[in-house]
Amino acid sequence: GKIIIFCLIALCFILYHKVQTSGDEDVPALGRAGALKGHGRDKFNLYSDSENEIARPATKSPYEQSIQLDLAKQRPGLGNNGVAVHLTGSAKERGEKIYKKIALNEELSEQLSYNRTVGDHRNPLCASQRFDTNSLPSASVIIIFFNEPYSVLLRTVHSTLSTCNEKSLKEIILVDDGSDNVELGGKLDHYIRTRFPAGKVTVLRLKNRLGLIRARLAGARMATGDVLIFLDAHCEGNVGWCEPLLQRIKESRTSVLVPIIDVIDANDFQYSTNGYKAFQVGGFQWNGHFDWVNLPEREKQRQRRECDQAREICPAYSPTMAGGLFAIDRRYFWEVGSYDEQMDGWGGENLEMSFRIWQCGGTIETIPCSRVGHIFRDFHPYKFPNDRDTHGINTARMALVWMDDYINIFFLNRPDLKFHADIGDVTHRVMLRKKLRCKSFDWYLKNVYPEKFVPNKNVQYWGKVRAVNANLCLDDLLQNNEKPFNLGLYPCGKTLQKSQLFSYTNSQVLRNELSCATVQHSDSPPRRVVMVPCSESDKFNDQWKYEDQQLVHTNSGLCIDHEGLKNMDDVIVAPCDLSSESQRWVIDSN
Ligand code: LR7
Ligand code: MN
């Protein structure tokens, strides 16, 4: 009798456990098998290598089945070291098709393992850097996403877990900015629950799409680490990228840090760099756009004073930051005004934060031993809220608060924003600026970014360059100013507009914001006036004499002339002739 009862109890016990382990909520046997094996470089990634073959248990969860199919599709080792991968056949076609839709080869992404390696692209000097490994501040990594490809997002998380040192990485917070891509819902939750250590990775779901600025704010409110590290949802970290950031913040809590941002190709997923010797820092254009600029000579000298022979890996002051990838002391983030929470959608928050940090006593620094790859896409795979130009609107909000009188140069470049109805009220940000006793934009330009050209500073004349005998003005004809182009002619606008805005500087350079006037090298006339990207030093920019209304190119002795030319033609230079009306120009800002 007793034996039978014992057997029944034992049977119940066994059955009970069978039911438990097949439940969706439990850690799957697969996970435990992997954990027991303790296999691989990345102990969180259970499917990394081909030798890591584990029997796949049948499970009832549709998520589990789908996840297993995803993992089966991955080709171990593919794209390792960050090499380019070229698909063939029908996969290639699928890749091209999806690329057209979302500016990213999702087909290829699905074939790369979540923890493919990208190689070590750091300056060799980085290897000798020492960190206070046992007493570094802890980090909360915040990754925001709106409808990002599921496999790309997961690769970002896996990469963070395997490249950021475990001791310092307190948590990863994913902020879902109201995505409606179904894979990013329950399936993502299931993956996180079953594949990552408990509590390490969490998802914060916003009910509606709030835009990337408010999504970052929501993530920051949840974070508990000493340092916030923000990442876009399509990044892969290089070896050891976290420690140098945390170490620097430990030493200097008002330093806001950016890694060197490497390029992951959106089509073949190649991880590429410009080598480790040189990197660029952040600049801006007067139209409110961020751009990359070479490290100025002045800053290299400061680095030498600061770091001696280790100049190449010395923190580099950066006038602005790109916005997506940065580390900041959590308390300092709030003290210095976090973000303007009335900025919607995408854009503008990066320059706002950049100017604010510098003007209010902090610094922005590029940390050369910290490198993170980012997938740059050709176009936005998403619409902007209500189809509004949120970049422009947000940038106007920024300019109203931080740029003082220089806002006029911004509005000259963006007249459409001057009276835009959606800009809204910025009083609370102006109050913040007062409360923090922040410095002026003029101070910023003089002390942080003296290389930045200001159209009406240190110039003899500025404005339209107008022919005296025709309604024609020099005009860049909206060509790309980042590479050489022929200078053109166009009817003078009633008001001053960007394409006709030129400066004749104190050092006799004829230029606009980015490009300087030179003369085409050619023996046979007509020789065109060519605009080329200006050098940081005027020593290397061509000079022009402006006398008797003539613009004389110093090197060639030739004069700008519009004889026989019309609207939209390229301007030329010709032998100077004081009696020629077509060589006379007035420069003014009326
Ligand atoms: O409505 C949105 N909600 C979001 O959560 C729109 C976007 N997002 C997410 C999105 O899923 C992504 O993870 O926000 C992140 C950034 O969006 P991207 O990747 O489309 O932007 P980007 O890389 O083209 O743009 C750069 O400028 C932006 C200005 O608002 C942000 O600051 C981005 O973070 C920034 N990216 C970088 O700095 C990476 C380096 C690129 C450069 C230069
Ligand atoms: Mn991005």
| CA separation for the pair 198, 492 (Å, rounded) | 66
Specify the pLDDT at position 237: 98
Q: Stretch 483-512: mean pLDDT, rounded?
A: 97
Between CA 182 and CA 286, with CA 232 as vertex, the angle to 5 degrees is 125
Specify the pLDDT at position 257: 98
CB atoms within 10 A of CB 71: 14
What's at 483, amino acid-wise? K
Specify the pLDDT at position 158: 98
Sign of CA dihedral 461, 462, 464, 465: positive
Specify the pLDDT at position 5: 59
Helix or strand (DSSP H, E) at 435:
helix 427-435
| CA separation for the pair 86, 80 (Å, rounded) | 13
Q: Is 35 exposed, middle or buried (0-12, 13-18, 19+ CB in 10 A)?
A: middle
| CA separation for the pair 74, 111 (Å, rounded) | 4
**Whether the CB of 228 sits within 6 Å of ligand 1:** no
pLDDT score of 390 more than 50: yes
- Residue whose tokens read 């990552």: 196
Q: Is 523 exposed, middle or buried (0-12, 13-18, 19+ CB in 10 A)?
A: exposed
| CA separation for the pair 353, 334 (Å, rounded) | 12
What's at 584, amino acid-wise? R
* Range from 2-16, 429-443, 495-509, 545-559 carrying the lowest mean pLDDT: 2-16
Specify the pLDDT at position 1: 57
Specify the pLDDT at position 524: 84
Cis peptide preceding 319, ω within 30 of 0: no
**Whether the CB of 149 sits within 6 Å of ligand 1:** no
Residues 485, 476: contact at Cβ < 8 Å? yes
Q: Which two tokens stand for residue 482?
A: 């980042």
- Residue whose tokens read 């992404």: 109
**Among residues of the chain, what percentage have pLDDT more than 70?**
90
The tens digit of pLDDT for each residue in 344-375 reads: 999 999 999 999 999 999 999 999 999 999 99
Q: Interhelix angle for 186-195 vs 62-73, to 10°?
A: 80
Q: Stretch 534-561: mean pLDDT, rounded?
A: 97
Per-residue pLDDT band for 385 (boundaries 50, 70, 90) equals confident
pLDDT score of 10 more than 60: no
| CA separation for the pair 380, 90 (Å, rounded) | 26
| CA separation for the pair 478, 445 (Å, rounded) | 26
Domain boundaries, the chain: 459-588
Residues 199, 171: contact at Cβ < 8 Å? yes
Bridge partner list, 292: 282
Q: What is the pTM of this model?
A: 0.89
Specify the pLDDT at position 55: 46
Alpha carbon of 104 to ligand 2 centroid (Å): 11
Coil, strand or helix at 550: strand
| CA separation for the pair 356, 431 (Å, rounded) | 13
Alpha carbon of 318 to ligand 1 centroid (Å): 19
| CA separation for the pair 262, 271 (Å, rounded) | 7
pLDDT score of 43 more than 50: no
- Cβ contacts of 252 within 8 Å, gap of 6 or more: 363
| CA separation for the pair 339, 346 (Å, rounded) | 13
Q: Is 477 exposed, middle or buried (0-12, 13-18, 19+ CB in 10 A)?
A: middle
pLDDT score of 16 more than 70: no
pLDDT score of 45 more than 90: no
| CA separation for the pair 488, 529 (Å, rounded) | 8
Per-residue pLDDT band for 564 (boundaries 50, 70, 90) equals very high
The tens digit of pLDDT for each residue in 46-91 reads: 333 333 344 455 567 899 999 999 999 999 999 999 999 999 999 9
Q: Which two tokens stand for residue 27?
A: 């850690």
Alpha carbon of 90 to ligand 2 centroid (Å): 28
Specify the pLDDT at position 11: 54
Q: ipTM of this complex > 0.90?
A: yes
Beta strand segments in 421-526, E: 459-467, 472-475, 485-486, 488-491, 502-505, 510-511, 515-519
Bridge partner list, 230: 142, 326
The tens digit of pLDDT for each residue in 208-233 reads: 999 999 999 999 999 999 999 999 99
The tens digit of pLDDT for each residue in 100-154 reads: 999 999 999 999 999 999 999 999 999 999 999 999 999 999 999 999 999 999 9
Return mean pLDDT, the chain: 91
Q: Which two tokens stand for residue 194?
A: 């079953």
pLDDT score of 510 more than 90: yes
Beta strand segments in 184-287, E: 201-205, 227-231, 235-237, 255-265, 271-272, 280-284
**Whether the CB of 399 sits within 6 Å of ligand 1:** no
Bridge partner list, 505: 459
**Whether the CB of 312 sits within 6 Å of ligand 1:** no
Give me the CATH topology for the region 459-588. Answer: Trefoil (Acidic Fibroblast Growth Factor, subunit A) (2.80.10)
pLDDT score of 301 more than 50: yes
pLDDT score of 568 more than 60: yes
Q: Stretch 378-389: mean pLDDT, rounded?
A: 92
Per-residue pLDDT band for 267 (boundaries 50, 70, 90) equals very high
**Among residues of the chain, what percentage have pLDDT more than 90?**
87
CB atoms within 10 A of CB 275: 9
Q: Stretch 548-569: mean pLDDT, rounded?
A: 96
pLDDT score of 19 more than 60: no
Specify the pLDDT at position 6: 57
Q: Residue 145: how many CA atoms within 13 Å on its side-chain side?
A: 27
| CA separation for the pair 230, 173 (Å, rounded) | 10
Query: Pocket of ligand 1, candidates 160, 176, 184, 232: which has the most ligand atoms within 8 Å of its Cβ, to mutate?
Result: 232
Alpha carbon of 147 to ligand 2 centroid (Å): 12
| CA 157 to centroid of chain Cα atoms | 18
Angstrom distances, CA of residue 427 to CA of 65, 185, 339, 430: 53, 38, 14, 5
- Cβ contacts of 520 within 8 Å, gap of 6 or more: 486, 527, 528, 529, 530
pLDDT score of 477 more than 80: yes
pLDDT score of 470 more than 70: yes
Query: Pocket of ligand 1, candidates 153, 346, 390: which has the most ligand atoms within 8 Å of its Cβ, to mutate?
Result: 346
Specify the pLDDT at position 523: 77
Q: Which two tokens stand for residue 126?
A: 């980085």
